[in-house]
Amino acid sequence: MKPVIALVGRPNVGKSTMFNQMTRTRAALVADYAGLTRDRQYGSAEHEGREFIVIDTGGLTGERGGIEALMQDQAWAAIEEADCVVFLVDARAGLTMADQEIAEKLRRTSKIIQLVVNKVDGVDESLVQAEFSRMGLSEPVFTTASHGRGISSLWEAVMIKIAAKFPNTPSLPEYDEKTIRVALIGRPNVGKSTLTNRLLGEERVLAFDQPGTTRDSIYIPFEQNGKLYTLIDTAGVRRRARVNEMIEKFSIVKTLQAIEAANVVILVCDAHEGVSEQDQHLLGFIHDRGRALVIAINKWDNMTDYARAEVKRQIDLKLDFINYAEMHYISALHGTGVGNLFESVDTAYAAAMRDISTNVLTRSLEAAVFAHQPPLVHGRRIKLRYAHQGGSNPPIIVIHGKQTDRLPGNYSRYLEGWFRREFLLMGTPIRLEFKTDSNPFEGKFDNRTPLQRYKEKKEERQIAGMKRKSAANAERRARMEAATGPAGTTGRSACGETERKTQR
C-alpha cells in the first residue's frame, strides 16, 4: 500500500504550499469532496520511485465551536489515517502556545512525526532550532515551501522514518495470478456491506442502516462458480461505540488503496440519491487508474416507474464518459439482480487482461483507417502504419505512424471505439498511445540554390585537382631522387680515384 503523509499545523504556516510542492510530479487532486473532506485534500506524490498519498488539512486552532471545530475534526481524522505526520511550524512567528498544544496531542497518537520549520528565509536557523527543540519532537527540517527550498531534505527525512514500516517489498496481500481481485467502493450507507454479505452468502461484515460503520478495507478470498476471487471491501468491522463519529464515516485513503489493489471495481450507488458529485469523483479516479468497472445501482426496489426512469436519465447524462461499464440495477437487501454481477465482473476482467497479437492489431488498424481516413494536416495526410499492445489492465495499444502528434482527439476516440467493438473490450478503459516514426533525413534537407550547388561542386573539383597535381609532383621528385642519388655518388668517387692515380 502507499504510505500516507498528513500535513498538519496552525493556520497559515504553509501546509497547502507544501502540499503543492510534494505533489508536483502528480499534482492533480484525487479527492476533494464537499462536506466530508472540504478541508482535506488528497493528492498523489512520487519520490525515488515510491508513491505516497499526501493529505492537506485545515489549520488546528483549538477552537471548540463553529466551522473551526469541524476543520479540526477533519485534521485529526487525517492524522488517524496517516502513517507519517508532517508537523509544520512558522519560523517567523516563532514557537507559540498553539504549536506546543498540537505537539503534545501528536505525541499521544504514537504516529511517526516529522517536525518542519517553514519560512526560514532571512531567519537564523540555529536560533530557530534552539527555540523549537523545546517541543521535544524529532530533529527539524528547515524549509521555505514557497521557493521549494528544503523539500528534498524533507523527503529524505520522511523516507528514513517510514522505511522500517514500509519496506520496498509490496505490503499488499499476495495473490495468485488466477485470483480476480474485486473492490467494492461507494459513498457511505449505499449498501456496500449488505452487498458483500449477499455476494458471500454470510454475515461477513458489520452492516446496518447507519453511515460510519465502515473503516478499514478487508480482503475476503472466496470461490464462485469454480473461479477464485478476493473481495476487497472498504467496510471493516469496528466498534459500535464509535459508529456515531460521523467524521470517520468515509476513509478516502482506504478507498483509493482498494482501487489500486483491484483488477475490477464495483461502484455501488444509491438509486434514491442518484449519481452524486462524489460518485463522479470516484469514477474519474477509477478511469484514470485504468481499472475495469462494473456499476451497481442499489436500493432499486420500492421505486416508482417514474423515479426509475428519472434515475436512468440522470445516469445517461452524467456517466457518458464511462459508457463502457456494465450497469446493474439491484437490491442488495433482497438479492434482486445481484447474481448477474459476477458475469459482468468476469467479462470486464477478461477484457482488461486480454492479450492481442501485433498482426491482429495492425490488420484491425488498417481496416479502421480504410473505413475512415485520418484528417489532412497542412495538406498532408496523417499516416498510421502499425499497432502493437503495450500492456494490459487496462489494455494499452501503441500506434506508430507519421504526424501522430497532430491526430485530433475525435479521431483518437473513433479508434478507441473501433478497437472496443472489434475485440469486445467491454467493462474496461482502453489506452491509446501514438508514436511518430523518426525521419532518417530530418535535419539533412538541402536548401541551397542550384547555382550555389554548382559553384560548390566546381570548387570541390578544383581543390581535388590541385591535390592530385601536388601529389603527382611529389611522387615524381621522389623517383628522381631515388634514381640519381646513388649513381652520382658512385661517379664522383670514381673520378676522384682517377685523379689520385694521375698525380702519382
Using the structure block, give the residue that is written with the C-alpha cell 498523489.
44
Q: Is residue 365 part of a domain?
A: yes
154 and 199 assigned to the same domain: no
| pLDDT for the residue 68 | 58
Is 146 part of any domain? yes
> What pLDDT does 30 receive?
38
In a domain, 204, yes or no: yes
Q: How many CB atoms lie within 10 A of CB 143?
A: 26
pLDDT at res. 441: 53
**Which H, E and C letters describe 110-172, residue by residue?**
CCEEEEEEECCCCCCHHHHHHHHHHHCCCCCEECEHHHCECHHHHHHHHHHHHCCCCCCCCCC
Residue 406 lies in a domain: yes
Q: Give domain status of residue 469, yes or no.
A: no
**Domain end residue (candidates: 162, 190, 217):** 162
Residues 101 and 126 in one domain: yes
Range of the domain at 229: 182-352
Whether the model clears a pTM of 0.75, i.e. scores above it, the answer is no
**Looking at residue 365, what is its pLDDT?**
94
- pLDDT the model gives residue 63: 59
SS3 250: coil
What pLDDT is recorded for position 67?
Answer: 53
Q: Based on the fold, state whether residues 193 and 337 are members of the same structural domain.
A: yes
Domain contains 322: yes
State the alpha helices, DSSP H only, in 356-442.
358-371, 409-423
β-pair type (380-381, 326-329):
unpaired
From the list 362, 249, 363, 341, the residue with the least C-alpha distance to 292 is 341
Number of domain units in the chain: 3
Q: Are 269 and 370 within one domain? A: no
Q: Are strands 112-118 and 84-90 parallel, antiparallel or unpaired?
A: parallel
H or E segment and range at residue 464:
helix 450-503
Query: Mapping DSSP to helix (H, G, I), strand (E, B) and coil, where does residue 416 land?
Result: helix
Considering the domain architecture, whether residues 211 and 156 belong to the same structural domain is answered as no
Q: Is residue 504 part of a domain?
A: no
How many helices and strands, by DSSP H and E, does the chain display?
13, 18
pLDDT for residue 116? 93
Question: Quick one: pLDDT at residue 240?
Answer: 35
Give the pairing of strands 376-377 and 380-381.
antiparallel
Question: Which residues does the chain have with pLDDT short of 70?
Answer: 1, 25-40, 62-71, 164, 166-177, 202-218, 234-251, 438-446, 485-504
